[in-house]
Amino acid sequence: MGMLSRLRGLVRYALGQLKRPNMLKVGDTAPDFEVQDHTGKTVRLRELRGKRVVLFFYPKADTPGCTKQSCGFRDRFPDYQKAGISVFGVSFDTVEENAAFAKKFGFAYPLLCDTKRELGLAYKTCDSAQDPYSKRLTYVIGADGKIAQAIDTKDPGAQAATLLAML
């Protein structure tokens, strides 16, 4: 990525931070969770303590913006791994829907299936358990279990590269 492109991404990110929806705040303790991923494996945040974690919430599997965002993380996943950062996509989709999405686009990271909206409610990506879709928010959780960054994602296609450059 060229310097000008990187600078534009950082400016878009900074401007997106000026007006945020109701979100968890930097320094808050990240809510623990236990949820199935797209392979049926149970993922628990408490088991990731000591590692940095990116949780990116997306509205619906296999839709244009969600595909751009998820493929961005797919393409940079080896770089996130080298940096010691675990990446998880989160949506309200079923295991089957997320499994098909992961298979179609070759995602090497887990897609968490928050069908009960428990993560969505805890991380403020929805207002009720009846909401059909998650808001497009991203949280970076530090090794200490605290929110290190809270991002209202404005450019899903550029997010993975922009975030990686900041981390």
What mean pLDDT do residues 45-56 have? 96
pLDDT confidence tier of residue 5, bands split at 50, 70 and 90: low
Which residues are designated catalytic? 66
Give the domain extent around 38: 3-166
Confidence (pLDDT) at 19: 47
Confidence (pLDDT) at 3: 59
Taking the alpha carbons at both ends of the chain, their separation in whole angstroms is 16
What mean pLDDT do residues 61-88 have? 96
Torsion of CA 74, 21, 113, 38, to 10 degrees: 0
Q: What is the pTM of this model?
A: 0.85
Q: How many domains does the chain have?
A: 1
Over 90: is that where the pLDDT of 122 sits? yes
Confidence (pLDDT) at 106: 97
Residue 22: give its domain's CATH number. 3.40.30.10
Residue-wise pLDDT for 90-119, tens only, equals 999 999 999 999 999 999 999 999 999 999
2 vs 147: which has the higher pLDDT: 147
